[in-house]
Structure 1
Amino acid sequence: MSTPLAGRVALVTGAGNGLGQAITGHLVRAGARVVMVGRQLGKLEKARRDLGLSAEDCRLEPCDVASADSVADLARRLASEPVSILVNNAGVPGPVKELVEVEAEEWDSVFATNVRGVFLMCRAFLPAMTHAREGDVINIASVSGKRPLAGRTPYCASKMAVIGLTTTLAAEVGPYDVRVNSLSPGPVRGPRMERNFRLEAARSGTSYHTAEADFVSRAALGRMVEEDEVGQAVVAMLQMHGLTAADIDLSAGMVAR
């Protein structure tokens, strides 16, 4: 049986761990060849080994998505690769503190990766898609961009910016049969959420378990999302050819609209 993404080349940023690693695994199983992109080659190599994938399945490319020069170099190295799927997953969580305590450098660091990185990657790889009149961009946003989350203003603002970028870009490239969507996960079980719960507990003077329970209780299903569920959602979205300018919630009911 043919796989749904057979013959397509997908580029995944932030692929060295967490969601990027999970998304890579699901894309490969769906038949795509994946370019795994991240700042540290060692992390990419480990992620590929942990997934049990080969060099034929995944090409590894170091890149800092916040750097225009680094992204331009990446695009030149991949000039012969027909990238038709771009998953902008790279992101940083930023500080956990009240807005008045956030340093300007902290704010800029979050936006550099979470928003500027998406812009630079789209600018670099969309021209080939529009020329071929085929392509998909999926930007990993967050439900945190769409509801109050005290102490996380830089992160929340950056993810709402990604959603705005997505909808406007979809209108620009839609006439070329290129689709642009965002996927907004809720709290995803893993090291990043563990870090957030520790910092929130310290900020609010509660325990780690209280911070976790309070956060998870906001979800209709009363649980966090799993990394594999995000990978499955990316593959599913790529098979919905009429889907564009959409923001899909995958939050276990953390957000209801």
Structure 2
Amino acid sequence: MIERMYPKPGLRVLVTAGASGIGAAIARGFLDAGAKVMICDIDEAALAHFAAEHPAAVTRRADVSNEGEVTALLEAVRASLGGLDVLVNNAGIAGPTGKIDEISTEDIRRTLDVDLLGQFLVLRRAVPLLRASGDGAVLNIASVAGRLGYALRTPYAAAKWGIVGLTQSLAKEMGPEGIRVNAILPGVVRGARIEQVISDRATAEGIPYAQMEEQYLANVSLRRMVEPEDIAGMALFLCSPAGANVSGQAISVCGNVETI
């Protein structure tokens, strides 16, 4: 019974933005489970570091907001992995922090291009491979900002709400073909990215970093940050036999963030 909680060995997995943070934790989890893993990222130094630590993984530079690079990426997946069983649509950026009338059009577009359009572009090229696998799974990484309003982070929140809508719609579309689609909504995840987010929010509100961090954690019922490995654990479960009938869901892994 316990083996049902782990993905079957040999899954072919693509993780976007997989060289660091949540993406790297998910990629490591699948590698440990015996999967064939390819990651992409725009950070070439992080890619090189990941490749050195995990020589079994295939690595490639790709910007998910660039349609040509996405097409080449999925061609590389076909050539390197021989197909695709699991897509982890993880790539995203934090976007600007500020009031709506202070945010530039360029910053809004870039946030939506990476966080939302990027998932569309990868899915368009990945779905034919997932369909051919006969039992494909998609994990779209969103955020608790996809279920809660997020003052001073409107482009990011808009993109993450969009990902939830994309997930639920695609689950209905692809379910009859046996492809499961779910979204994972991380909360305050420990790492460099949340540190920058808290710093930018503290600056925007004119308060010290420590005070802003305390405010973030005060809004979490468990009063602690989530670890990247917590997100990876949910990803592995959703791609295990035990998760075979979970689809169309937006699952928070956040310690119960009450408000942001």
Under a length normalisation based on structure 2, what TM-score does the superposition of the two structures give?
0.93
Contact 1:41 1:62 in 2 (8 A): yes
**1:254 alignment partner in structure 2:** 257
Map 1:148-159; keep pairs closer than 5 Å.
148-159=149-160
- Separation of aligned partners in 1, 2:45 and 2:216: 33
In the alignment, structure 2 segments of 5+ residues that lack a partner are: none
Map 1:72-87; keep pairs closer than 5 Å.
72-80=71-79, 81-87=82-88
What amino acid sits opposite 2:102 in the alignment?
A: E
**1:66 alignment partner in structure 2:** 65
Alignment of 1:43 onto 2:46: yes
Alignment of 1:243 onto 2:242: no
1:78 partner SS: helix
Under a length normalisation based on structure 1, what TM-score does the superposition of the two structures give?
0.94
Contact 2:7 2:237 in 1 (8 A): no
User: Which runs of 4 or more aligned residues in structure 1 lie more than 4 Å from their structure 2 counterparts after TM superposition?
Assistant: none
Map 1:9-158; keep pairs closer than 5 Å.
9-49=12-52, 52-54=53-55, 57-80=56-79, 81-158=82-159
Q: Give 1:33 deviation, angstroms.
A: 1.1
Aligned length: 252
Contact 2:16 2:39 in 1 (8 A): yes
Q: Give 1:7 deviation, angstroms.
A: 1.1
Q: Give 1:142 deviation, angstroms.
A: 0.2
Ranked by relative contact order (alpha carbons within 8 Å, sequence separation 6 or more), the top structure is 2
- Separation of aligned partners in 1, 2:161 and 2:34: 31
Identity among equivalent positions (%) equals 30
- Separation of aligned partners in 1, 2:51 and 2:229: 16
**1:173 alignment partner in structure 2:** 174
- Separation of aligned partners in 2, 1:127 and 1:192: 33
**2:207 alignment partner in structure 1:** 206
Alignment of 1:194 onto 2:202: no
Q: Give 1:255 deviation, angstroms.
A: 4.2
Q: Give 1:31 deviation, angstroms.
A: 1.5
In the alignment, structure 1 segments of 5+ residues that lack a partner are: none
Q: Give 1:30 deviation, angstroms.
A: 1.4
